[in-house]
Structure formats: structure tokens, C-alpha cells
Chains A and B, each alone.
Chain A
Amino acid sequence: MHLHRYEKWWITFGIGSLVLFLIIVGIGAFHQGHQPPSSVKTINYEQVDKVTPFNEPGLTKVSGKDWDYELVVVASAFMYMPAEVEIPVGSTVKIIATTKDVVHGYGVTGTNINMMLEPGYISEYVTTMDKIGEYLVVCNEYCGTGHHTMKMMYKVVDVNE
């Protein structure tokens, strides 16, 4: 099949750019650990309230782990538990979340924390919260009439102040 010389240049340039993008995200994901939230842990969604750690939603300090805090979140129509959380700036936090009913979203505005919560599955994400501020969490997957009222607030604060 004959390709015009310029088309060869273009396809080479185009495929080259795509390969570059893939290398950048691939290194970020597999070498630096910036993977999208992909936990495969499961749970009985009807028993969420009775199972550790979801029986006690909230922020807990942990030791001996790669992160400083665990933030356990339980979503249900149309709220998150806890509704508000205060996090010392600079801490590495593992967010562990699930839903008690339908699919919910979990998007923390202004951050890369953005994951789906699906019944029967636990969603997890680890990040270092290095910027002070108030971050609104919204449900970004349609879950019913009250979907747009579903929210939570992160307050990343400087504890020394």
C-alpha cells in the first residue's frame, strides 16, 4: 500500500507522540506508583456497618505502615460518613471507602482523588496531602434524586498554627 512521504512523517510523528504519552504514564504508574485506584478487595455490601474498618468511619492514625493515617469512608444515598475530616498537612493518607447501596462517586475537588464506589467492592487510594485548604468531596456518579446533595469536606490544616 503506497503511503505519501509526508503521511509517513505524520504517522511516525503521531505514533511517536502516543508512545511518548504511554511511556510517561507507564513510568508514573508502574515505577512511581501513581496507579489509578484499582483495589480488588470485596465486601458484603449489606453488612458494611458491621465489618471492620467500616464500623468506625473516620480518620485514624496508624503506625508501621507506608501511610500515616487511614481515612475510612462509608457512602450511602445520599451522604458520606464522616461528613467532615481534619487532616494535618503533609500526612500520607490511605482512603478506604465503600458503599452500602448503589454506585457512588468519590471526587475530591482540586485533587487527583477520584474513584468509583461500587457495592461489594472496597476502593482505596493513597496520597500525601501536601497543600493546606478545604476540599469539597462530591458524588460524581448519578445515584438518585439526592445525588447533587451528597458531599463531604476535607480540611487539610497546619497543626502547628
Chain B
Amino acid sequence: MASGKRNHKLQEEEQSLKGTLYAVFGIGIFVIASWFAVFSIFTDRF
């Protein structure tokens, strides 16, 4: 029972950080896009 309660609490907690999850992944995608943009400049130039 104790573990069931714990799981429930965990779920609740994780529910409430959904915005954070989206925000940080948004940052990650921005970083990846910028990196590949400059990488493509590098490969394009001699």
C-alpha cells in the first residue's frame, strides 16, 4: 500500500513539471538547430 501511495505522489509531482519538461526540450531543440546551422556553414565553405 505504501508503495502505491508513493507512486501516486510521484505521478502528481511529475504531472506538475510538464511545463518545465517542454521548456527545457525547447531549449535543447534551439541549441541543436543553431549548431547545425553553423555546421552547415562550415561544410559549405572551403
Binding site for B on A (CB under 8 A): 4-6, 9-10, 13-14, 17, 21, 24, 110-113, 127-131
The answer to whether A17 and B45 touch across the interface, beta carbons within 8 angstroms, is no
The answer to whether A13 and B28 touch across the interface, beta carbons within 8 angstroms, is yes
Q: Given A6-B21, A10-B21, A10-B25 in contact, is the A21-B45 Cβ separation under 8 Å?
A: no
Main secondary structure of the interface of B (DSSP, over half): helix
Contact of A4 among B14, B32, B35, B42 (CB under 8 A): B14
21 A/B residue pairs, CB under 8 Å, sorted by A: A4-B13, A4-B14, A5-B14, A6-B17, A6-B18, A6-B20, A6-B21, A9-B21, A10-B21, A13-B25, A13-B28, A17-B28, A17-B31, A17-B32, A21-B35, A110-B45, A111-B46, A112-B45, A112-B46, A113-B46, A128-B46
Binding site for A on B (CB under 8 A): 10, 13-14, 17-18, 20-21, 24-25, 28, 31-32, 35, 39, 42, 45-46
The answer to whether B14 and A111 touch across the interface, beta carbons within 8 angstroms, is no
Bound Cα distance from A130 to B45, whole angstroms: 9
The answer to whether B45 and A111 touch across the interface, beta carbons within 8 angstroms, is yes
Kindly name the residue among B31, B42, B45 whose own CB sees the greatest number of chain A CB atoms within 10 A: B45
